[in-house]
Amino acid sequence: MRIKATLAAVFLPLAAIAQEPLSAIDWLTIPPAGGRAGQILLEPPVTESGSGPKITVTPLETLERPIGLVPTHVTGLPVEMWRASAIEDVIRAMNAADVSRTPAMQTLLYTLLLAETLPPLGSDAAEQFLLARLQRLFDLGAVEPAQAMIDTAGPETAPERFAVWFDATLLSGDETFSCAALNRSPHLSQDYAARMFCTLRKGDWSAAAVMLDAARALNLMPQDELFLVDRFLNPDLYEFAPPLPVPSAPDPLTFRLFEAIGEPLPTAPLPRRFSVADLRDVVGWKAQLEAAERLARTGAISPNRLLGVYTDRLPAASGGVWDRVEAIQRFDTALGSRSADAVAKTLPAAWNVMRNAGLEVPFSTLFADQLAGLPLTGVPQRLAFYMRLLSPDYEAAATDAPDGADMEFLAGLAQGTPSAPGGDTTRQAIFDGFANPPTTPPSLQRYLDGGRLGEAILQAIKLFHSGRKGNLDDLTVALQFLRSVGLEDTARRAAIQSLLLRAG
């Protein structure tokens, strides 16, 4: 009953409490458990010395949660590799890293972008760093990894994050999830077109129409956007209207609205991230093929996904992408037969079409392991060796190299010990990068001394690209650095690719 008396005393009006003596409130007179009557236990205990208490200090920054998709034990990169860098320097270097035509550098850049890491120190640096990583993934066409990373980070925690997530879902076809979030929390976006799009998707045409009328009356949207949304909401009114002008730089929502009104925009002239939309089942096979090839060139989709599109059905015509489809299907059939003669007949044609398309590495990754052990000779043997060198199993290929000085150099490079290159300047620069035990070049050591490993790797990517363009000293420095920080596999694969792939 004591609890009831207590609650009654607490919730009685103050005037009523004032009319009762204090002894009527029993919890004022009950001695604390374990103490004597009159003892005060609320006073802190007296210290036995004059020294101050031990205080543990933890900087607030260390309480941040690393954001990324690939854990540290997989990447081998420290979680603090960006910590000492200035956010402006990181973003600038990240955007300047050119990885075209070097899949090994593409893989390295993806590792940096997707690794679980802490952001640079500084006010708002964490948000800037996350958004910069997501935008760089978009530039490469890696929309699905970007979407997965922002799913992990929390897309509904800030309007800026939601905007990126919304764009990603529009391109990947997952807008049901982002629209559901926007309908629950309209404050996540100030874009009236996005609100109307999502409101109509949930079936509330009347609410979307009211929003459109309000936006028109208050001049809240550009005229071209109003016309587009109006056609989306009222298709019957514009059944015989002429097509709308094609926008020069559409965003993903504009792209999807044009598709919804029956005037789809081609993705080829648009940034690479739009190609992801052509991988959906609602798109024609030719568009899927071209999109898959475009994304495979930057490593944005896996080689297996490319092969799945190639082998989806029989080619419908000839020329261009259809020739690649036919060559790949014939070569795949020949490999399945395990006939050396059939492989020898189909391999040169398949290699040539894939080389012309800039897809040698995905092609090699798919088929190189099946070529091992086949008794090939001449050109097919040399091409099979190239493919094995361009595959993840490049080191095993070194034990089965064809005869010739060039083949010997490549075999040695695959094992990290290239032979003397003769008079070739490019091979000499690569040889110098592997000639001695790996050391960090002075130009990049200053980054490591400052705890800026992430920046140093981005600078090495930049130097390697410069080396491929003809600045051979930069090529040597990049290879030396990569080896010195434990990226031996990346250095070998990049060096092999610099010799076997056309510079782009």
Q: How far apart are CA 153 and CA 116, in angstroms?
A: 11
Q: How far apart are CA 234 and CA 454, in angstroms?
A: 51
Q: How far apart are CA 113 and CA 498, in angstroms?
A: 23
378-396 average pLDDT score = 96
Query: Which residue type occupies 503?
Result: A
Residue 276, CA distances (Å) to 141, 146, 271, 319, 367 in order: 7, 12, 10, 24, 25
107-122 average pLDDT score = 97
Q: Are 106 and 299 in contact (CB under 8 A)?
A: yes
Q: Are 84 and 452 in contact (CB under 8 A)?
A: yes
Q: What is the pLDDT of residue 436?
A: 85
pLDDT, tens only, 62-74:
457 899 999 999 9
Q: What is the pLDDT of residue 230?
A: 96
Q: How far apart are CA 261 and CA 293, in angstroms?
A: 27
pLDDT, tens only, 278-323:
999 999 999 999 999 999 999 999 999 999 999 999 998 899 999 9
pLDDT, tens only, 175-190:
999 999 999 999 999 9
Burial class from Cβ neighbours inside 10 Å (0-12, 13-18, 19+) for residue 78 reads middle
Q: Is the pLDDT of residue 432 over 80?
A: yes
Residues 6+ apart with CB under 8 A from 59: none
Tokens representing residue 1 in the block: 């009953």
Which residue is listed with tokens 């000293």? Answer: 473
Tokens representing residue 233 in the block: 């909401």
> Cα dihedral angle (59, 60, 65, 71), rounded to 10 degrees?
-20
Q: Is the pLDDT of residue 10 over 90?
A: no
Query: Which residue type occupies 182?
Result: L
**For residue 70, what are the β-bridge partners?**
115
pLDDT, tens only, 401-424:
999 999 999 999 999 999 988 889
Q: Is the pLDDT of residue 88 over 80?
A: yes
DSSP of 305-331:
HHHHHHTSS--SS-STHHHHHHHHHHH
pLDDT, tens only, 138-154:
999 999 999 999 999 99
The enclosing H or E element of 211 equals helix 205-217
Q: What is the pLDDT of residue 123?
A: 87
pLDDT, tens only, 323-343:
999 999 999 999 999 999 999
Q: Is the pLDDT of residue 23 over 50?
A: no
Spans of all domains in the chain: 1-30, 301-402
Q: What is the pLDDT of residue 45?
A: 52
What global pTM score does this model have? 0.86
Q: What is the pLDDT of residue 56?
A: 52
Q: How far apart are CA 131 and CA 475, in angstroms?
A: 31
117 phi/psi in degrees, rounded to 5: -140, 160
Q: Is the pLDDT of residue 173 over 80?
A: yes
> Cα dihedral angle (415, 417, 419, 424), rounded to 10 degrees?
90
67 phi/psi in degrees, rounded to 5: -115, 135
Query: Which residue type occupies 68?
Result: G
Q: How far apart are CA 113 and CA 238, in angstroms?
A: 45
- What's the 3-state SS for 73-91? HHHCCCCCCCCCCCHHHHH
pLDDT band at 48 (very low <50, low <70, confident <90, very high): low
Q: What is the pLDDT of residue 47?
A: 53
Q: What is the pLDDT of residue 469?
A: 94
Q: How far apart are CA 390 and CA 65, in angstroms?
A: 37
